[in-house]
Amino acid sequence: METKTGQKVSVKVIYPELSYKLVGILYEVHKELGMYAREKQYGDFIEKRFKESKLPYEREISISNTGNILDFLVEDKIVLELKSVREISKECYRQLQNYLQQSGIKLGILVNFRTPHLRPTRIIRVDNPSLNSHINSQYSHD
């Protein structure tokens, strides 16, 4: 499979063109704001970029009555979870996996802006219940 830009992508990659566009925006934001802004500042700047590129999104939406709030839901396909922390912990991965489980969304992107080199991470929802319990037990111990 090829994207519109001619890049070859595995057929198994979920939403390759949308992911590529999102990651490009994340790199722009990181380049503009650097690594020491607050999470809200990154979110505001990302929202501005989404509006400029006419990318459909929702910001800070609640997942039913769980009390959990997604930073962004892009095109009703990808959960974008922003962090501005010294180091991403297992809890951050677990949190996003829980968001994916609760929302039914297949793909999430976890990004930590407080690093010199941005490394957005794609997280795919685990559908197997036995794997879910394995993930929860694996990430519950630091």
> In angstroms, rounded to a whole number, what is the distance separating the alpha carbons of residues 104 and 51?
25
Residue 123 has pLDDT above 70, yes or no: yes
What integer pLDDT is reported at residue 66 of this predicted model? 85
pLDDT tens sequence across 15-36? 999 999 999 999 999 999 999 9
The tally of CA atoms less than 13 A away on the side-chain side of residue 119 is 5
What integer pLDDT is reported at residue 64 of this predicted model? 83
Residue 131 has pLDDT above 90, yes or no: no
What integer pLDDT is reported at residue 135 of this predicted model? 46
Please give the model's pTM, rounded to 2 decimal places. Answer: 0.83
> In angstroms, rounded to a whole number, what is the distance separating the alpha carbons of residues 66 and 96?
14
What integer pLDDT is reported at residue 127 of this predicted model? 84
pLDDT tens sequence across 78-101? 999 999 999 999 999 999 999 999
Q: How many helices (H) and strands (E) does the chain have?
A: 4, 5
DSSP string over 19-52: HHHHHHHHHHHHHHH-SSS-HHHHHHHHHHHHHH
pLDDT tens sequence across 38-63? 999 999 999 999 999 999 999 999 99
Residue 1 has pLDDT above 80, yes or no: no
The topology (CATH level 3) of 16-139 is Trna Endonuclease; Chain: A, domain 1 (3.40.1350)
What integer pLDDT is reported at residue 102 of this predicted model? 93
> In angstroms, rounded to a whole number, what is the distance separating the alpha carbons of residues 19 and 25?
10
Per-domain boundaries in the chain:
16-139
Could you count the other beta carbons within 10 Å of the beta carbon of residue 94? 16
